[in-house]
Amino acid sequence: MAATIKDVARACGVHVSTVSRTFSAPHLVNPATRSRVLAAADDLGYRPNRAARALTTGRTFNMGLIVADIANPFFPPLIKAAQAQARGRDYHVFVADTDEDPRVEEELIRTFTKQVDGVLLCSPRLSNKMIERLAEDVPFVVVNRRIRGMPAVLMNVAQGAKLALEHLVGLGHRRIALVSGPIGSWTSNEMQGAAAEAPGLDLVFFGPNQPTESGGLAVAADVAACGATAVLAYNDLVALGLIEGLSEMGIGVPDQISVIGFDDILPGRLNRPKLTTVAMPAVAAGRMAVDLLLQSGGEGATVTLDTALIVRESTGRAQS
């Protein structure tokens, strides 16, 4: 079995509290004693048990990070940024995937409670009410959701959607399909809100949809049938699925239909045609989320990050 603090104490004839102090408050112990303790600890391969320590101190130096779908290339850069930022603050990040299922999401949060000092909740599918209730047990930072009084990192989706629509209008499109995401997605709502405000457009809504390639594939036929000359898709995966579906039906992108996604994931850059998309600041969001969690005395600071339209090859002039 692994050595405990008692073994070390016995090995060098001091009280456990002295060993404890050697690790958590070295300045309080005599340098000579300290080095004896360290030698014994090293000898026995002793490492403080972080879980036991957390029991008294209330701090674990871990944080949880919950995402809806780890297979979505949007998340890995965010996760890596959060991990790197946390590491610089002596924290570790435990990641978990909810499979888009709110029940799993809730269970994971409950599991994290007391094992981490806080949870970064990315693109949650739970209701605001539920999140507020769970927040009584563990601090949150929410990414891509606005909840009253809770620290949040938001991306300016509305602005991005506006830029995208202006781009399409500039290319002569008027009838535009809006392919939304899953129920409970704040991003999806923001997009719809922004689109509804844009003047002089003939919008067709499709949703809810799975936020994946299959989701895009599944609505491709409907989108083609609705007579739209352009599509604004919930995210890049959906956009890629759409393009795939349309091309299977012999419909060319961007010649016959223009497609814009959101996120700016890597596969979109490698796709042919290369995807026009609204870039989301995933890396900055990961970093900010960590900082907010560590700073927040529970205060509900909200950070909004800008988005940017990246025009590539999947959009073109509307066919007359």
Partner DNA sequence: GAGTGGTCGGCAACCGGTTGCAAGAACCTT
Partner DNA sequence: AAGGTTCTTGCAACCGGTTGCCGACCACTC
Contact residues for a second copy, defined by CB under 8 A: 2, 45, 47, 49-52, 54-55, 60, 62, 70-71, 73, 76-77, 79-80, 83-84, 87, 92-97, 99, 104, 107-108, 110-111, 113-115, 136-137, 213, 240, 244, 266-267, 270-272
Q: Which is nearer to a second copy, 90 or 199 (CB)?
A: 90
CB 153 within 8 A of CB 303: yes
- Contacts with DNA by CB under 7 A lie at 1, 4-6, 13-18, 20-21, 23-25, 28-34, 46-49, 52-53, 55-57
Closest separation between CB of residue 26 and DNA, Å?
A: 10
**Which does residue 216 touch among a second copy, DNA, none (CB within 5 to 8 A, set by kind)?**
none
DSSP β-bridge partners for residue 261: 277
Which pairs with CB-CB distance under 8 Å and at least 24 residues apart come from 25-32? none
Quick one: 39 or 55, whose CB is closer to a second copy?
A: 55
| Residue nearer to a second copy on the CB measure, 122 or 168 | 122
CB neighbourhood size of 148 (10 A)? 8
With CB cut-offs between 5 and 8 Å by kind, which of DNA, a second copy, none does residue 92 bind?
a second copy
CA dist 226 and 223 (Å) reads 5
The one of DNA, a second copy, none whose footprint includes residue 23, by CB under 5 to 8 A per kind, is: DNA
**Cα 292 from chain centroid?**
14
**Partner from DNA, a second copy, none binding residue 10, C-beta < 5-8 Å depending on class:** none
* Partner whose footprint covers residue 83, from DNA, a second copy, none (CB < 5 to 8 Å by kind): a second copy
How far is CA 167 from each of CA 92, 94, 183, rounded to the nearest angstrom? 42, 40, 27
For residues 61 and 114, what is the distance between their CA atoms, to the nearest angstrom?
11
Q: How far is the CB of 34 from DNA (least distance, A)?
A: 7
Residue 294 Cβ vs DNA, minimum distance, rounded to whole Å:
18
Work out whether strand 152-155 and strand 202-206 pair parallel, antiparallel, or are unpaired.
Answer: unpaired
Nearer to DNA, 16 or 96 (CB): 16
Where does residue 16 rank: exposed (0-12), middle (13-18), buried (19+ CB within 10 A)?
A: middle
Q: How far is the CB of 227 from a second copy (least distance, A)?
A: 27
What is the Cα–Cα distance from 153 to 44, expressed in whole angstroms?
45
Cβ–Cβ under 8 Å, residues 64 and 293:
no
Shortest reach from residue 306's CB to a second copy, in Å: 23
